[in-house]
Amino acid sequence: SAVISQKPSRDICQRGTSLTIQCQVDSQVTMMFWYRQQPGQSLTLIATANQGSEATYESGFVIDKFPISRPNLTFSTLTVSNMSPEDSSIYLCSVVPGGSNQPQHFGDGTRLSIL
């Protein structure tokens, strides 16, 4: 399975600022995703990070709020823009290594608190 590193692991940010979260994988992966886990809740898919093209966003999530980059097959970033307290969540990167018949693995997540 792939080793997934997320940075930062946690942060406390001021309202109105933006934070970029990095996801680094130790091998090339076909699929990378970003999920959000609000306090005490389950995980919700934000978007699929597509290499070399714009990310595919799920209903309720927009590019202006959550811009995503994926410059290559091992790296992606998620930016949480113009943050408000409602954005306080854990943000998790996940990958499908190898072929599409492989299970999905998650990073340790970024714990974000907005004051």
Question: Footprint of other proteins on this chain (CB under 8 A)?
Answer: 1, 6, 31, 33, 41-45, 48, 58, 90, 92, 94, 96, 100, 103-109, 111
Q: How far is the CB of 75 from other proteins (least distance, A)?
A: 18
Instruction: Tell me whether residue 81 or residue 102 sits nearer to other proteins (CB atom).
Output: 102
Instruction: Tell me whether residue 13 or residue 90 sits nearer to other proteins (CB atom).
Output: 90
Q: How far is the CB of 87 from other proteins (least distance, A)?
A: 19
Instruction: Tell me whether residue 65 or residue 105 sits nearer to other proteins (CB atom).
Output: 105
Nearest Cα neighbor of 23 from 42, 43, 51 is: 51
Q: How far is the CB of 79 from other proteins (least distance, A)?
A: 20
Cα-Cα-Cα-Cα dihedral sign, residues 35, 38, 39, 40: negative
Q: Return d(Cα 23, Cα 74) in angstroms, integer.
A: 8
Letter for the amino acid at 60?
G
Q: Return d(Cα 99, Cα 97) in angstroms, integer.
A: 6
Task: Phi first, then psi: give them for residue 85, nearest 5 degrees.
Answer: -55, -30
